[in-house]
């Protein structure tokens, strides 16, 4: 999509250049061409670097799977409700799922880490 947009911008630039060639060149024309050319060139350079950046990231690691971190999860949430392990099938068929972000104390490192906890309920809260 980004490459297509870059090509489209160059086509618009070429079309404007074609229109300008048919008229006498004035200082205003040069200023407009410089502005449009700079914008199109800047966007095209940015898009090339953005695509190369994403290709480099994709080669470093697999971005289609989540990283697994083994950490001890709390047994209750901040209201004292117990968390129960749910299978993926239960989560997919649940009518309503609450998602809680909790901070879990790291055992081997100092500090905390956020972790998502899911709670299946049959009622939608008010």
User: How confident is residue 109, by pLDDT bands cut at 50, 70 and 90?
Assistant: low
Mean pLDDT of the 98-107 span: 68
Structural domain containing residue 115: 68-126
Per the structure, the count of domains in the chain is 2
Measured CA to CA, the distance from residue 100 to residue 97 in angstroms comes to 10
Identify which of 64, 74, 71 has the alpha carbon closest to the alpha carbon of residue 119. Answer: 74
Report yes or no: 119 and 98 within 8 Å, Cβ to Cβ: yes
Q: Kindly report the CA angle at 4 between 10 and 7, in degrees rounded to 5?
A: 15
Report yes or no: 9 and 44 within 8 Å, Cβ to Cβ: yes
Mean per-residue pLDDT of the chain: 76
Q: Is residue 74 located within the same domain as residue 43?
A: no
Q: Is residue 39 located within the same domain as residue 89?
A: no
Mean pLDDT of the 7-32 span: 86
Q: Is residue 9 located within the same domain as residue 53?
A: yes
Encoding tokens for residue 123?
């009622």
**Segment (H or E) for 112:** strand 112-121
Of 30-34, 66-70, 82-86, 103-107, the poorest mean pLDDT is in 66-70
User: How confident is residue 94, by pLDDT bands cut at 50, 70 and 90?
Assistant: confident
Measured CA to CA, the distance from residue 105 to residue 18 in angstroms comes to 65
Of 42-51, 70-79, 94-103, 116-125, the poorest mean pLDDT is in 70-79
Q: Is residue 39 located within the same domain as residue 77?
A: no
């Amino acid at each position: 999509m980004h490459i297509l947009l870059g090509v489209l911008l160059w086509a618009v630039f070429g079309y404007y250049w074609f229109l300008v060639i048919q008229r006498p060149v004035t200082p205003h024309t040069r200023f407009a061409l410089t502005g449009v050319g700079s914008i199109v060139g800047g966007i095209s350079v940015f898009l090339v670097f953005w695509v190369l950046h994403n290709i480099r990231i994709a080669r470093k690691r697999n971005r289609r799977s989540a990283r697994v971190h083994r950490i001890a999860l709390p047994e209750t949430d901040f209201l004292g409700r117990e968390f129960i392990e749910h299978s993926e099938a239960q989560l997919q068929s649940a009518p309503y799922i609450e998602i809680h972000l909790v901070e879990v104390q790291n055992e081997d490192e100092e500090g905390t880490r956020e972790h998502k906890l899911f709670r299946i309920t049959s009622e939608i809260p008010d």
